[in-house]
Every structure is written in structure tokens, then in C-alpha cells.
Structure 1
């Protein structure tokens, strides 16, 4: 199939995914359909992040080793001959029927998000122009930024496949997905009603921003653990190989530009390098947890932030519990996916907190 026909068929599948979301928005009792569309897109993005984690953790990232289609076709059914041949040659390899479907479903869902974001851009422009460019909540700046960002995310999705799961590319792909979720959360917050927030919330602006930065760094470390398959490099907890500071190879572990499982020189990555990756993620998690817990505790003491503070604290406790259980239970798939999902939830809640602590200042300015 030629590229234009393939892209058309893939776009059709993305539109079908988006149509389901549009149906939810249209049938909603919420009178503000634009706000509902933003929230539904946010929810779908959260789901795609979790499904992306499932794709990565089931080693399905190369289930279809080309892009954007699957052996030049728009779905695995049409490529079954090629998939069966690859599976017969390597039964435990990256290409199987199940892995091909997982990979392509992930692509269909991602395309659906792209269609929804295009709809958000069009509607925001329409509402903004109709309001005489006076209603800032409909400003197209954020939606246009979302569109540009989802295009960038799609490019890294393609490079993830064409560059054969190179760890730095896969990690950036994960970070861009989390950033897209954060941006959608900010847009959704602009469309939503918020309780009155006490002016003391202004004191949390800097701490909340630091919490988001630390969380982003920890997610990057977590992505580096996952993309290097270092989740089981330390099989015990709280120690690692029975000691507080095990033997580690930071030089090879944190060389960013290299192939999967290899050093920059092309040799196999030593186990000490995987230990260094895992240990760093684990230790930095303590720093992030303490800071976010402190920020959430302060939010609990401020009028209008109690609810978000409780949610953030609860998500943090859940994430720590899942992280420990993932190691203790030897990395069960469901818990590993949930660990990624809870990280996305922390991003959502931390971004929402950052928005809320700016409400008093915005109200005074208007």
C-alpha cells in the first residue's frame, strides 16, 4: 500500500476513536460542551499513557517494526503473513500477533487524541473570535501549543520504532506524554469552576512549582529504569543486593546516547550499570516523596486547597505502596502499569495544585 493510502486508513481509525469521545461529549448533561471535550481528551490521554506503559512493559514496542503502519498495512490482520513469519522465526521475539495488536491499538488511540486536540483548537478559535477576543478561557494559545506538542510527540513515537527502542528516545517519548497530560490539565483547569482560595495559597507558588519539577525528574528516572529494563536490578527492599550502597556503574548506566542493552562502545551493558539506574531512581524517590508530602500538608491548611491536598497525599501514598510492592512481588505486570498510571495521576494533581495556588493573584488582577 502506498503511503498516502496508508495514512488515510490510519487517520480514519483515529477519527473513529475520536467519534466515541465526541459521542460522550454530545450525550453529556454538561451545558459547556467545550469544557467537557477538554476533560474527555484529558481522560483519554491519561488512558493512553497507561496503555503506552502496558505496551512498553509487555515488550510490544516493536510488535509492528515499521511506522506508521504494520508491515505497510493499517492493521495487523492485513499483515498477518509477515507477523506469522516473524513469530515463527523468533517465538519469543518482539513480533507476535498479540504484540502487534497492542502496538497498533496504542497508535490508534494516540491518533484519536490528535483528532480531539484539532477539534479543541478549532472550537477555541471560534469561541474566542465570537467573544470579541475578550474571554481569556477560550484563548487559542494553549490549544495551538497542544497541537504543536502532540505533533512532536507523534514524531518521537515514530522514532521510538525506527530507532529500535533506543532508551533516550523512549524516555523522551514518555516525558512528552506526561507533558501533554500536564498541558491538558492546565487547559481543563482554565475551563472549570474552583472554590474560593485563601490568599495564603500564594505562598505555595514556589514550593508547588518545585514539586512539579522534582516530579518530572523522578518520572524521567523512572522512564530510564523502564526503558533499560532495570526494574529488577535490585530485588530486595529497602536495601539493594543486601547493602545500602551496592556496587554500581554510573558511567555506563547514565550514558544517554546508546542502543538498548549496550554501552556507547557497543558492548553489553554491565549489570552494575542497571543497578546504578535502579538505585538512583529509588533514592531520588525519597527526596520527591518528602517534598510533595510537605507541599500537600501545607495545602491541607489552606482554605480552598484541602481537597487537592488530600488527593495529592493519597496518590503519593498509593504510588509509594505500589513501587515497593512492584519490587517485593518481582515486578508483576499489573502493578508495573499501575505505577506508571499513578505517576500520571501525580502529574495531573500537581499541575492542578499549581493552577489553584495562582487563583488569588489572578482574581486580584482582574
Structure 2
């Protein structure tokens, strides 16, 4: 079964690899980095779809489906489960959604292995001098995708335990952020002025706040608390509704249960939803402010403009999930918006730190007194 699953992952990976091979881009390594990034973004979106359609246990074992490499071979088990519970966690549709998610995840792993191998070969071939192929970051990506795979397995074997599923989501977005950083290193950027470099601190703060908000959003999703407050801007008609923070934010517990094994009370779900909703306004304010500042620098203007667009999209989709009773398509788009914000803020942080003009270094040398310059 493992060999068959590995072959499936390679076959899926051959599609983006072929696109890179036949592309007109002279820098195939750079192209492969960005294609891997795009596939990882798709994987995160499809992971959200898997979670939101309650397909996480569509195949209740790991890495295969009832010990097989695809649902077709497990048809007897799936038929029996579907007949026993037609709307339960195991159906034909959910099994295929879950296994498709795993196939794409394996393909991303294959592409990251290829990136690592290319980096090591090119770096050694260059006599360990080519900075564009330093292998440490691609190697870290490989180790990180192995960790992500482990949490993917625990997500299934621990029956969608909220803290494991939330960590799995955060690790997926961290993998995306690492690929954006690697991709940024391969690109040429418009130089950033001294004004733009002053945004390094605020951009870092915005990124940290966004990570906290995504963790809160993941906690909402994994606890199925998206409709715990069905009105806005109030919640159950109150600014501060009845909430149970102790049970809502008790991390180590089973899905829908308290740490003591009782059913999770509704005020706990309200607390989870209300905290995510309230903190969103802090994140929106800070990210919008950083994006507005970025518009003033030519090197950051494009990224800042996209940040404003996506943060507005996040606000709109967040409100739509409440007013429209959580439609699946909008919920998936909301998850994708979070991934886009992560990507854009990583790019903004990279540019603010490293896209500095060469002339700036020359100008600093020109300010050194002639006597000191001669000593240098």
C-alpha cells in the first residue's frame, strides 16, 4: 500500500513538474519554487474544504483508506459505513475528498524533496559558493513537511482532536510562509527606501497578530463554532454575551467534549467565536495601517495594495459567513484569504529587510571621512 501511495504522490507531482520543464523560464529552479508554493496554497484551500465538509475522517485510518491506497479498493468498508450512517463521517464523497487531499499533500512533499536535492547538487557543484542554491532552507522545508505529515496522521488517528487539527492548519500556513520566503529570495525586487525599511517592525507585528488571529480562526473551525453568534455586531443581542472561556479554550480535549468528558456547553462555543470576531478588528486595523504605509514606498506599493484588497475581502467573507449562515464556498474563500494574507505579509517583511538599493551602501561609504576610508 505504501508503495502504491508513493507512486500516486509522484504521479500527481509530475503534473507541475512537467509544467516547469516545458516552461520558457530560463531559471527552472525559481519556477519550481513558485509552482510548489502555488500547489501548497491549493492544498491549504482543499484542506479547508476537507475540514468544512466534515471529510477529515472520510477514511478513518492513515495513510491509506481502510488499508488500501484508494477508496475504490476499500468499497466494501465504505459501503458498510455509508449504509449504517448515510450522513456519517464515512461516505463515498468524503472518502474521495480525504484521499485527494492526501494525494496532493504527498505531491507537495515530492516537490519539496526535489527542491532540496537540486539545491544540494547545485551548491556542491558551485564549490559551495552559489548563494542562490544554499541548501539549508530547502532542507528545513523538507524536515518541516515531514512534521506536517505527522500531524496530518495524528489528525486522523486522534479523531479530529481540535488542538491537533489547529496545529496542523498552522503548520500548513507556516510551510506556505517558508515557501514564500524562499520564492522571494529567487526574485529580483524594486529597491526599498529608508522609509520602507522602517516598516520592518510594524510588518513583523502585523504578521504576529495575524498568526494569533489565524490560530483563533482555526480554533473556531475545528470546534464548529462558526455559527455560535448569528447576529452582528452584537452576539445573542449583547455586546458581551454569556461565555465559558474555561471550557472553550481548554486545549487538550476531544471534539465536542470538555476536558472532563462532558458535552461542550454552548457558551464555550460562544466564547470561541466571540474572541475570534473581536480580535479580528485589531488585526484589520494594524494590517490596514501597515499596508497604507507601504503604499508610500515604490518597492512596497504593490504588496501594500494587495494587502488592503485581501484584508477587505477577509472582512467581507467573515461577515458573509454570519449573515448567510456559513455557506461552504464563502467559508473556503475565507480560509484562502487568510493564506493570502500570510503570503503577502511574509513578502512585505522580506522586501522591507532585503530589497535595499545598492546605492544606499555606496552613499554610506561616501559619508566616511577620507582618512577612515583609506584605513578600510
Using structure 1 for the length normalisation, give the TM-score. 0.97
Quote the residue 1:51 is aligned against. 46
Matches within 5 A, 1:1-366: 6-360=1-355
Aligned partners of 2:127, 2:299: CA distance in 1, in Å?
Answer: 32
Does the 8 Å contact 2:12/2:104 carry over to 1? yes
Aligned partners of 1:241, 1:153: CA distance in 2, in Å?
Answer: 38
Structure with higher Rg: it is: 2
Shift of 1:309: 0.5
Aligned partners of 2:148, 2:291: CA distance in 1, in Å?
Answer: 31
Aligned-partner SS, 2:291: helix
Q: Per-residue displacement from partner, 1:104-134 (whole Å, max 9, x unpaired)?
A: 0000000000000000001111221222222
CA RMSD of aligned residues (A): 1.2
Aligned partners of 2:129, 2:189: CA distance in 1, in Å?
Answer: 20
Aligned-partner SS, 1:72: coil
Aligned partners of 2:150, 2:191: CA distance in 1, in Å?
Answer: 41
Aligned-partner SS, 2:235: coil
Shift of 1:365: 7.3
Aligned partners of 2:74, 2:314: CA distance in 1, in Å?
Answer: 39
Quote the residue 2:369 is aligned against. none
Aligned-partner SS, 1:77: helix
Using structure 2 for the length normalisation, give the TM-score. 0.94
Aligned partners of 2:24, 2:92: CA distance in 1, in Å?
Answer: 41
Aligned partners of 2:288, 2:201: CA distance in 1, in Å?
Answer: 15
Q: Per-residue displacement from partner, 1:10-60 (whole Å, max 9, x unpaired)?
A: 000100111001011011111100000000000000000000000000000
Shift of 1:346: 0.4
Unpaired runs of at least 5, structure 1: 1-5
Aligned-partner SS, 2:71: coil
Does the 8 Å contact 1:262/1:269 carry over to 2? yes
Greater shift, 36-45 or 132-141, is seen at: 132-141
Aligned partners of 2:241, 2:269: CA distance in 1, in Å?
Answer: 11
Q: Per-residue displacement from partner, 1:50-95 (whole Å, max 9, x unpaired)?
A: 0000000000000000000000000000001100001111111100
Aligned partners of 2:261, 2:240: CA distance in 1, in Å?
Answer: 27
Report the number of matched residues: 361
Quote the residue 1:3 is aligned against. none
After TM superposition, where is structure 1 displaced by more than 3 Å over at least 4 residues in a row?
360-366
Does the 8 Å contact 1:289/1:316 carry over to 2? yes
Does the 8 Å contact 1:185/1:352 carry over to 2? yes
